Structures are given as C-alpha cells and as structure tokens.
Amino acid sequence: MGFSVLIIGCGDIGTALGRELIDEGHSVIGVRRHAEALEGSGIKPLALDLEHLDEGDNKALPQADYVIYTVSADRFEESAYQSAYPQGLKRVLSVLERQETPPKRVFFVSSTSVYGQQEGETVNEQSPTDASGFSGVLMCQAEQALINHQIPGSVVRFSGIYGPGRDRLIRQVAEGRVAAVTPVMYSNRIHRDDCAGILKHLMYCDQQGQALEDIYLGSDCEPAALHDVMTWIAQQLKVEATETMQSPLRRRASKRCDNSRVLNSGYTFRYPSFREGYQQVLKEGGFLNTSPSTP
C-alpha cells in the first residue's frame, strides 16, 4: 500500500527520491521556492518560502506519512545556514506537531561537516561532533532540534555528494589539476542516487516496523585519498596532471566515514565506491565521448 511523502527543499536529491517513490506507487509533494522546477517530474509542486511559514497554522504544510527535510542554504554565510537549518527545521516541526495527524517520521538531511576530525580518523554516528566552522555547528543544532522533538525523527549525514550535474571534481581534473599526494586528504563521497536510495530504504524499514536509529552516516563503502580519486578520474579522461591543487583552508578536513550502520540496516549501495559512481557520471555526462582529433 502506498504512503505519502512531503519533501521540503525538493532539489536534486529530493527530485530523484520523489521520482523513485512515484514509480513505486507512492504520492509525493515537493516544496521549494520556485516550484515550477518540478514540472514534468510527477511530483506535486508546492511553492513556499520557509521564511514566511506560519508556525501557528497547522494547515501551512500538507499532511504526509513521511517528511524529508533536505533544504539547501542559498549561500555559504552563517545567516543563510541559520535560516535554512536550525530555524527552518524548527518552523517546520512547529507546524507538523500541530497537525491532526503528524507524520510517522521526519528525516533531516544533514552533512558530515558536523565532524571536526582532520587527521584521517575513522568517524561514525557515535564520534564527537566538534566542528569549528559555522556550517557544522548549525547543522548540529538542527540535528538536535529533530532528535529532541516529540515527532520521531532520523538524521542522515551525507558526505561529499556527487552525481549528474555535480561534476566539479571532474572538470578540475579535466583542466589538469589534482590534489597533492601529501598530506593525505581523505575524501568521503556518495552518489546522488544512493542519497535517494538510503532515504527511501529507511522509509521502507519504518513501514515494516524496523526500529530506526536517531542518526545515520550516509557515505559510500570506500573512503579514499582525494589524490587517488582525482588520479583515477584523470586515467579515465586520459589527461595528464599539470598542476597540484591545494585545498582551501575551510575544506581541510580529513576523516574516514564508517557506513556500517547503514549497511547493517540492509541497504545495498548502487555505487559502493567512487569508481562505479564516477564511471556513471563520466559516461552519462558525455565526458568519455571524445572523438579523435583530425590531423
């Protein structure tokens, strides 16, 4: 029997998730500021700016069995993150708790930016979240708002998301740039379709009566050195590295994400490592369709 899902911040991940759910017989409403972007997806669009959400109106959001909060900040500034994450999620929870039939569970799409580890440590859901940057700190605040709320909720911390249209790393390599060999900078990645897959999987687990955890770490099965990832992409593109790329200071975090909890829940990754995932992006994005040059 189908269930209903409300996806708040229905962008790239939300649209991929919504399409899969609709194909499997569920009903999906997608909330975003510019809802016309959802035309043709099969997702029922709802245009809404969360900053104008009336917290006292229990009809400000439609009722649904599951709510996915996957909002993106519109710029990398503390005020934008404050609005998008702790403030925005609290507004939504305030409306949901007033509904005649609140959702069975709310899922908050968080980020591995909550971790502050920089020395290649392995992190999991129990690891300290001691981020020094405002993005990680505010994500943590939003996570706690959900975990402490009366409506059941689960946080899913995704690592570096890539996929169709998310090809910045490929373009850097295509320009001949790769990360330095040392110091080793571990890179944790997850394909967009696995983000959608994990969220769908957890909803199905809940439907089947499986107890869910408060927090899940969503990352693929192979943490890898960024240099190795970029070198592998260079081999696929048949380009030679001509420039060593140094990471910006704010991105100098190096850790290895342990996805055991997601695996133990029964999820099977579509793209278990960067190789399978980037092979799909390279192929679908036309990066490999290069014809030989004419003499």
Q: What pLDDT, on the 0 to 100 scale, is given for residue 246?
A: 67
Q: How many alpha carbons lie under 13 Å from residue 101 in its C-beta half-sphere?
A: 7
Looking at the chain, how many residues does it have? Answer: 295
**Fold held by 4-163+189-222+256-272:** Rossmann fold (3.40.50)
Instruction: Dump pLDDT digits (tens) for 200-253.
Output: 999 999 999 999 999 999 999 999 999 999 999 999 999 998 888 765 444 557
- Give dist(CA 29, CA 43) in Å, integer: 6
CA distance 217 to 258: 7
- Nearest alpha carbon to residue 103 among 57, 148, 149: 149
What one-character DSSP code corresponds to residue 250? G
What CA–CA distance (Å, rounded) separates 105 from 205?
11
Q: What is the pLDDT of residue 286?
A: 87
- Dist. CA 73–CA 135, nearest whole Å: 10
Task: Specify burial of residue 279 (Cβ count, 10 A radius: 0-12, 13-18, 19+).
Answer: middle
The total of other beta-carbon atoms located within 10 Å of residue 138's CB is 23
φ, ψ of residue 236 to 5 degrees: the values are -70, -35
45-69: pLDDT as tens digits: 999 999 889 888 889 999 999 999 9
Q: Pick the residue with more confidence: 182 or 19?
A: 19
pLDDT in tens, 242-283: 888 765 444 557 899 999 999 999 999 999 999 999 999 999
Distance CA 94, CA 40 (A): 31
Q: Is the pLDDT of residue 292 over 60?
A: no
Worst-scoring range by mean pLDDT, 94-108, 148-162, 224-238, 243-257? 243-257
Q: Where are the domains of the chain?
A: 4-163+189-222+256-272
